[in-house]
Amino acid sequence: MKNVFRDNPTIAFGLGLPLLLVVLFLVISGIPVLLVAPAQHDVLYATNYSYYNNAQNTLQIAVVGDRVQVNYIGSNQPYQNPRLWRFNPRTGAVKEIALLLPPGLAPNTGSTVEAPKIPTVTPIEVPDLAGLKVDSSSLAPDGYAFSAGPDGYSGRIFTDLF
């Protein structure tokens, strides 16, 4: 077997360099775990949360003081239901927090209807958030920062590089 690699160095480089790169990337990806302390605070975030999609029939999630306040604005069902999540960085677990819409909402027909000048605002009780104190800043006390939108990573490495 050694003679094959000595006689054909191209095969040795063709097999050895990719393996060397895999090992190198594995070692480099493990360095931050050794040098950076893990996050200590939970993160609340919402998905399918597009207030500007239909501002007349939507959930409004806000931090008032140090508590999360959830209100439903409107009298029809929303186009999409926002979902609220709680991420625990110590375990890596993500838990969905149930947001129940108020009963008696009219079905959403999809057609544009003139919105009332003063929309109906209905507070929604969320039992999973009842005793939770929240800091609304994007910088946690342990130094981690949360960013989203244009400040976050775009995920398009080729367009970022070239």
pLDDT tens readout for residues 65-82: 889 888 888 777 776 778
Please count the other Cβ atoms lying within 10 Å of the Cβ belonging to residue 49.
16
Percent pLDDT > 90 in the chain is 14
pLDDT of residue 125: 87
Q: What is the pLDDT of residues 7-42, one digit of tens each?
A: 888 888 888 899 999 999 999 988 888 888 888 888
Give the CA radius of gyration of the chain.
25
**pLDDT confidence tier of residue 87, bands split at 50, 70 and 90:** very high
Question: Cα separation of 83 and 97, whole Å?
Answer: 7
pLDDT of residue 19: 94
What proportions of the chain, in percent to the nearest 5, are helix, strand and coil?
25, 25, 50
Q: What is the pLDDT of residues 47-65, one digit of tens each?
A: 877 655 556 667 788 888 8
Single pTM value for the model? 0.66
Cβ neighbours of residue 73 under 8 Å, at least 6 residues apart?
A: 55, 56, 57, 58, 59, 60, 119, 120, 121, 122
pLDDT of residue 94: 94
